[in-house]
């Protein structure tokens, strides 16, 4: 694998903690211009903003924190416009922002289910739509989508979360094909369980009448999350910086050589699943006579 050291302008969503924060720090220390975005930088995430800006100032890193709420059109458009105005372009977007809903699936109201999709799926689509006109005009760009193993396999009681990540996987892979003639690449990073803030901020089922009808079954996701939390808080827990490292490596890999999917950490067999499915997908592209769309190329003329 050939690595590049070219300085990139990178926008990262969900940078207040965990994978997003580590990714911002690692990429800035690699010499890239990094825009770490999050909600409420002057309110709830003011401490997170300070945690990023202080080392940036100390180390002389080209790292700035911007307000961006992936669920708000105006917020996304404003952040993208600010980056383009200041840096002239956006080379890479790391779609990392996400929330996790874990509980009895029937006991989620439609309103709560929509909230999950709004962040994990529509939020990514919203960011990509804001950025892609700039990338297509330049004939270059990289979209990195942080999904989950739960976007490829199903964990019981993760139904709403998995649905959002399955949808994101489909979106990211479709972008891979449709954007390749314009020189824009789309890839997927599939983390296993890591010690981030995601489990601590899980949204439980909110229809308590339905939940009560499940009796002892309703306790299963609670116990599952407790076990995950204990493991991820232990000395043997995998380090979320591994995901940030995978993002760094994908950015450094030349266009045309990046894998569509990169699994990081404990995989529960997803690496083998990806390998098994790839020939079927390739066969579909061949049947449609669209194999050229699998690899980013030069922009189409005209």
| Active-site annotation, residues | 161
> Residue 220 is encoded by which pair of tokens?
């299963």
Beta bridge partners of 67: 38
Q: Which residues contact 7 (CB under 8 A, 6 or more apart)?
A: 31, 32, 33
- b/e per residue 85-102 (b: at least 16 CB within 10 A): eebeebbbbbbbbbbbbb
The pair of structure tokens assigned to 102 is 């874990």
- Report the distance separating Cα 24 and Cα 64, nearest Å: 9
What is the DSSP pairing of strand 63-67 with strand 184-191?
unpaired
Round to the nearest angstrom and report the end-to-end CA distance of the chain. 33
> What is the SS3 assignment for 243?
helix
């Amino acid at each position: 694998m050939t690595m590049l050291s070219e300085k990139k302008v990178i926008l990262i969503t969900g940078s207040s903690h965990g994978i997003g924060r580590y990714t911002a720090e690692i990429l800035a220390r690699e010499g890239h211009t990094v825009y770490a975005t999050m909600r409420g930088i002057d309110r709830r995430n003011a401490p997170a903003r300070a945690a990023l800006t202080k080392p940036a100032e100390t180390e002389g890193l080209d790292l700035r924190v911007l307000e961006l709420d992936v669920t708000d059109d105006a917020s996304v458009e404003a952040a993208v416009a600010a980056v383009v105005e200041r840096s002239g372009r956006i080379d890479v977007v790391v779609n990392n922002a996400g929330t996790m809903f874990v509980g009895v699936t029937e006991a989620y109201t439609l309103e709560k289910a929509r909230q999950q999709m709004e962040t994990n799926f529509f939020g990514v689509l919203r960011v990509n739509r804001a950025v892609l006109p700039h990338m297509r005009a330049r004939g270059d760009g990289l979209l990195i989508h942080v999904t989950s193993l739960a976007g490829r396999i199903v964990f019981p009681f993760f139904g709403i979360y998995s649905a959002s990540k399955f949808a994101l996987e489909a979106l990211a892979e479709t972008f891979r094909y449709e954007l390749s003639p314009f020189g824009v690449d789309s890839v997927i990073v599939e983390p296993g369980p890591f010690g981030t803030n995601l489990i601590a901020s899980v949204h439980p089922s909110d229809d308590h009448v339905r939940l009560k009808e499940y009796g002892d079954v309703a306790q299963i996701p609670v116990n599952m999350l407790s076990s995950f939390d204990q493991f991820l808080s232990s000395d043997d827990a995998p380090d979320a910086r591994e995901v940030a490292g995978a993002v760094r490596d994908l950015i450094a890999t030349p266009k045309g050589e990046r894998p569509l999917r990169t699994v990081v950490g404990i995989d529960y067999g997803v690496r083998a699943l990806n390998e098994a499915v790839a020939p079927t997908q390739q066969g579909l592209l061949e049947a449609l006579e669209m194999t050229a769309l699998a690899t980013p190329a030069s922009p189409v003329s005209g």
